[in-house]
Structure 1
Amino acid sequence: MHRAIQATFRTLTPVPSLASMLAARLWMIPPRAPIRPEQEAWLAKAERRDVDAGGTKVATYAWGRGPAVLLMHGWGGHAGQLTGFVPGLVEAGHRVVAYDGPRHGATQGGTPSLLSFSESAQAVAGREGGLSAVIAHSMGASAAAFSMSRGLEADRAVFLAPAATMSGAAERFAKMVRLDPRALEQMRRRFERELNIPWEELDVVRSAHQMRSALLVIHDESDRDVPFSDGDAIARAWPTGSLVTTTGLGHHRLLRDADVVRRTIDFVSAGRP
């Protein structure tokens, strides 16, 4: 499939406007990650509700009682990917809330983007009456940081394999499909018009200096999807940021690693009285 897409973009190199239009359409189609049996089992145990986020009915899941902790999945993911954190958080006395972003998981409607992920997070937080912590993976961490820069409050945050910039994500996409630099720049301008926001405002490192939440970043040094340097840069720029480096877990096994789960729960729970 990738070879066919690459061949198409090579053919379209002389016509960057058409290439950028096709690239924008492809980039906005999230892959669909499978739901593992153990993830499905935890989703089935959840309190299931829909929350309105800008006219989109966003599927949400909740477990336990106590201060609310929001789980935010990444691009192409779903709420089930973070259910490995649920039992420990509930046992530690938290209410755990997760959602499927627009066009992800059980949420069928809406337009998938970092902004719509952020809008969903703020809608869920509003329904819960506030959050004590956020645990976010990959692009979900970018959406969490953007939400926090726009007023979403949480005492603590854990970013797992976070993406630092939209520009970096776009460049990785362009490299994968062999998109010409001129078409990439046109794609960027197209998204800025559609989202009505400069990409620089979606840069986590750029906005990190204003953050007040305590932050723990956990990133694997062999991550092939989002480079380790992204997580390192975020942790360095965040006033209270700290970094844990893992080895051999990659981008997704990080979410199922017992030590990562333990460190995350300990960090989130440390701020409780």
Structure 2
Amino acid sequence: MSDKIYFNTSAKFSVKRSLLNLTTRLHHTVAPKHAKKTARKLLLTPVRSKPKNTEPEGLVKGKVDWPGGELKTYTLGCGPIWVLSHGWSGTASQFFPLMEHIAGRGYTALAYDHPAHGNSDGAYGHIPAFVRGLEAILDSFDEELAGLIAHSMGTASSLECRHRKVQQCPMILIAPVLDYLDNLFGSVARSGYSMRLFEEVVSEIEDQYHYPLQSIDPFKKLGLRESKTIIVHDEKDKFADFSVSVRADTEYKNVTLRATKGQGHGRVMTSQEVLDSFDSLMK
């Protein structure tokens, strides 16, 4: 259900949207505790997507413990480690073709399912959980990190992550959500959902994780990075604003944008531009 909210880009008037606004505001007024419980389930529960690609030969499955349970990991190849972080309602399987490419170049590709995604434990997904999960993955191996590749919401959480290993490594950001707060609040507002109720749910997450939502600013944190970052983004992406990637390419000297056409928000993950971006970083 949450995908229908977060991936809703229509700004046209809708009777259904008006009814949702009315019913959620009324629910919040009459039964506030139950309304917040329902909102958490609706707004923070990603779709458990089925695997998108066939498992490559030699794929090793594992797990990493974190306070929210187990994170399922998928490793391919040997050599310096590249970590791959998927987006909202995605799975590590979306990276399998790219992992084969990385392994074929003499590196280890380590992908994982975020909390409440794929085969990992957890009921709810959000940026603080994504960040904590990534920190647990980075703590699970002793080697330095060769690089990080992320998609969609995974890009926002990767840029938010303050772990030592990600500070100086190169990154490839695919269809990045660099204007995360505007994207999030805009999507919920367009859905018609009660913003007051949404903000109360957000407040609970902030208190639980000691993570102020207003501190989230992937665009700014991208500008603070000194290592090379390549953005691969489709010009007609309906869910992540391409113009923000253009602005990052213009304003930040260590950022390079590779634009695609006709790849959308998801197919771009297996585009030639992503493969070429990895190869260029290796050079």
* Counterpart in the other structure of 2:172: 158
Q: TM-score, normalised by structure 2?
A: 0.82
Q: Distance in 2 between matches of 1:215 and 1:139?
A: 16
The amino acid that maps onto 2:22 is R
Q: TM-score, normalised by structure 1?
A: 0.85
CA-CA distance at 1:223 after TM superposition: 0.7
- 1:152 partner SS: helix
* Counterpart in the other structure of 2:134: 121
CA-CA distance at 1:180 after TM superposition: 4.4
Over the aligned positions, Cα root-mean-square deviation in angstroms equals: 2.6
Note the alpha carbon deviations across 1:163-202, whole angstroms, 9 max, x for none.
1143223223314421245445445444433432222322
Note the alpha carbon deviations across 1:11-57, whole angstroms, 9 max, x for none.
33466665983444322010233323xx2322x74111111123521
Note the alpha carbon deviations across 1:218-241, whole angstroms, 9 max, x for none.
111111111213333444454511
Structural mapping, 1:90-129, within 5 Å: 90-109=103-122, 111-128=124-141, 129=143
Q: Are residue 204 (structure 1) and residue 244 (structure 2) matched?
A: no
Change (3 A) 1:231 1:188: farther
* Counterpart in the other structure of 2:230: 216
CA contact (8 A) 2:189 2:195 kept: no
- 1:69 partner SS: strand
Q: Distance in 2 between matches of 1:84 and 1:106?
A: 19
Q: How many residues align?
A: 265
Find 1:81's aligned residue among 56, 81, 94.
94
The amino acid that maps onto 2:97 is G
CA-CA distance at 1:253 after TM superposition: 0.8
* Counterpart in the other structure of 1:48: 61
- 1:242 partner SS: strand
Q: Distance in 2 between matches of 1:85 and 1:177?
A: 34
Q: Distance in 2 between matches of 1:249 and 1:48?
A: 29
- 1:35 partner SS: coil
CA contact (8 A) 2:72 2:113 kept: yes
* Counterpart in the other structure of 1:226: 240
* Counterpart in the other structure of 1:33: 49
Q: Distance in 1 between matches of 2:268 and 2:216?
A: 24
Q: Distance in 1 between matches of 2:183 and 2:39?
A: 13
Q: Distance in 2 between matches of 1:45 and 1:176?
A: 44
Change (3 A) 1:197 1:238: farther
Q: Distance in 2 between matches of 1:134 and 1:123?
A: 15
The amino acid that maps onto 2:42 is L
The amino acid that maps onto 1:29 is T
Q: Distance in 2 between matches of 1:20 and 1:174?
A: 16
* Counterpart in the other structure of 1:141: 155
Structure 1: where are the runs of 5+ without partners? none
The amino acid that maps onto 2:45 is I
Find 1:264's aligned residue among 277, 280, 283.
277
- 1:226 partner SS: coil
